[in-house]
Structure 1
Amino acid sequence: MPLRETNRRIRLRRTGRVPADARVRHYDELAEETQVAIREVAEGPWTIPETGDLDDGDVVKFTDYYEVRAR
């Protein structure tokens, strides 16, 4: 899915705990454009434009578990 046209941005935060009510998204199930963004943002403290694949509070299983924070 493409990046959303909003002013919101997302940041990934490595987490060792996955909340029971969190939606867990596996990296290989995400759209290619979102995968590229995840690879970039997981390597540093950067933010990216909000994506259509991810919402605030989701958890992405990539090289580790990452919690999605949108603002």
Structure 2
Amino acid sequence: MNMASSELSAGTPLGRSLTVERVDTAPTAAPIRHVDELNPETFEAFYELVTADVPLQAGESGLEPGEIIVFTDYFRVEAR
């Protein structure tokens, strides 16, 4: 899977949902976490976003919009 990076926000507003988008590169200023740095619950949420392609509620994931997660590819977390 890919790495995902994001620009961490002060918090994602409740009621927002998150998706991930595969990206080719990570912006220089983007916060980056490797998948092995995620706690089990956050990893599970990330993996569900990648494999099921279904948005998750922002407060339930442990992920932040703009963040890049490094997995087999780069994935950018986005709020909708």
The TM tier, using the shorter chain, reads 0.7 to 0.9
Give the one of 21, 25, 30 matched to 2:38. Answer: 30
Q: Which residue identity lines up with residue 58 of structure 1 in the other structure?
A: E
Deviation at 1:58, TM superposition (A): 0.6
Greater fraction strand:
2
Say what the alpha-carbon RMSD is for the aligned residues. 2.0
Residue 47 of structure 1: aligned partner: 55
**Counterparts of residues 1-71 of structure 1 (less than 5 Å):** 6-50=14-58, 51=60, 53-71=62-80
Q: Following TM superposition, where does structure 1 have runs of at least 4 consecutive aligned residues deviating by more than 3 angstroms? A: none
Matches of 2:26 and 2:32, distance apart in 1:
8
Q: Which has the higher helix share?
A: 2
- Identity among equivalent positions (%) equals 32
Unaligned runs of 5+ in 2: 1-11
TM (norm. structure 1) is 0.80
Q: CA deviation at 1:37?
A: 0.9
Structure 1: unaligned runs, 5 residues or longer: none
